[in-house]
Structure 1
């Protein structure tokens, strides 16, 4: 009826029946929730974001690098070891940040802090909760990676203007690991399986994905396995951008496409697992 009396459809506000905001707006609300929480913690993370890269590059780049450089750097493309390893450590750090923030924090949001359960009492849908958290994790990856890139520049390890693209590549790397790990972590009823992700996933990839030495140094049967890992694609892309060599338009498209496909698959899986876990 004209006066809004009687039965009929609910009022439409913002173009959504019943007044529910669009999905992007709801995901942004979930993201802001994590920002509010992070406001209490950001000071403690700033120092680790800067000191971590300094320690890594000092120990691996200059400590171990001084021994490597004495024996020649032909297998490294003729560059000092610190220049070779710095962009790879950037990729590894992006992976590690993504996994770390998508494992125990996600489990905690269901079982300990119960942030997800509180979010269920709002307009947020499971997919909104998931996307908002992944947005925050990607922001954390980007922040840490920006700090690392600044340290790389201070150490003189950047040799190409293409290094301006290192930040979005690092963010994509973190997302490619965070999205599927979060989709899996939300399904867990115990926390110990998350240790396996680091022990049997992150650490082996760090050692055998060309981070500290060329993949060509691995046994022939193991090289295809290394090339299939997401971290190798991230390392090859970051190293090529930092050095300005070893990349073509086709290889860049292949590396980016590989990481983007994993991220997309993780986002799809998360929309399913979060709905199964949080839908009431």
Structure 2
């Protein structure tokens, strides 16, 4: 048989067709890349996703909860004012959102820094028919899916511990994911903006992530803090997400307008950070 003649024009057309799909669905290719890498170390993801929630719920919910006073959730019982619920019910949704928050702080720091600087795979992706924006989108998508899966496992354990009295409790998983991406948007923008290594990642974890975890009404009501420290919670995505999770799991009783404020704050913070991250990635990779 005579092989078909190959011309430069036909080769160029074939290349354009081959590149059309990655250009259209580039974020999904980046998501697949991250998923493939995660499969190689799946035990390091699965074991903490189950073990850490168990430890948190046992230690904070049952252990510390029994010392605080356990039941009535009133000022006279030593639990101050927890809204008439036990400390376990009060703290469980906060632990859920805090877990998502901390996972986001790691996933939006080290893999992004790795791809841009330490092992610049993003340069290779950008040399292929993938745009910088698709690279950012794929990483955000993968992290969101991973956090959603981890949060769902956490929620199931909360149900088993009896920490979800409301039938709307499953919405706390959505609150956890919103919390994670709300913090992740600005964080990814900051990490993308970095050029030199000066331990910025460690500084973020120590002086932003840790204080926000402690001062966002996670382990006690924000109202118990001095007024000059409460502003930290007001600007923290973790506080807004925790309040939404508590509204879902046991009915915190917040007015509807405040719930809307929580949602809008989380969505707006993510969108602003995400848009900036895409613009910075384009400037960095298209030099």
TM-score with structure 2 setting the length:
0.87
Q: Segments of 4+ in structure 1 off by > 3 A?
A: 10-13, 16-24, 70-74
Length, aligned pairs only: 272
**Match for 1:123 among 129, 146, 149?**
129
Mark the CA change 1:218 to 1:36 in structure 2 (over 3 Å): closer, same or farther: same
The match for 1:78 is 84
Mark the CA change 1:75 to 1:23 in structure 2 (over 3 Å): closer, same or farther: farther
Which deviates the most, 100-109 or 36-45? Answer: 36-45
Aligned mates of 2:220, 2:24 — CA distance in 1: 42
The match for 2:239 is 232
Which structure 2 residues correspond to residues 54-93 of structure 1 after superposition, within 5 A?
54-69=54-69, 71-93=77-99
1:223-254: CA deviations, max 9, x gaps? 23322221110111111111123234322221
**Match for 2:105 among 99, 103, 106?**
99
Tell me, which stretches of 5 or more residues in structure 2 are unaligned? 1-6, 71-76
The match for 1:33 is 33
Aligned mates of 1:121, 1:187 — CA distance in 2: 20
The match for 2:3 is none
CA contact (8 A) 1:180 1:270 kept: yes
The match for 1:134 is 140
1:185 and 2:188 matched: no
TM-score with structure 1 setting the length:
0.89
Tell me by how many angstroms 1:165 deviates.
Answer: 1.0
The match for 1:245 is 252
The match for 1:261 is 268
Tell me by how many angstroms 1:187 deviates.
Answer: 2.5
Measured on the aligned residues, the alpha-carbon RMSD in Å equals 2.3
1:172 and 2:178 matched: yes
1:184-235: CA deviations, max 9, x gaps? 1123221511111111111111111110011111112222332222111011
- Specify the SS of the correspondent of 1:75: coil
Tell me, which stretches of 5 or more residues in structure 1 are unaligned? none
Aligned mates of 1:181, 1:214 — CA distance in 2: 26
1:204 and 2:211 matched: yes
The match for 2:286 is 279
1:105-148: CA deviations, max 9, x gaps? 11111233322122122100111111111111111111111111
- Specify the SS of the correspondent of 2:193: coil
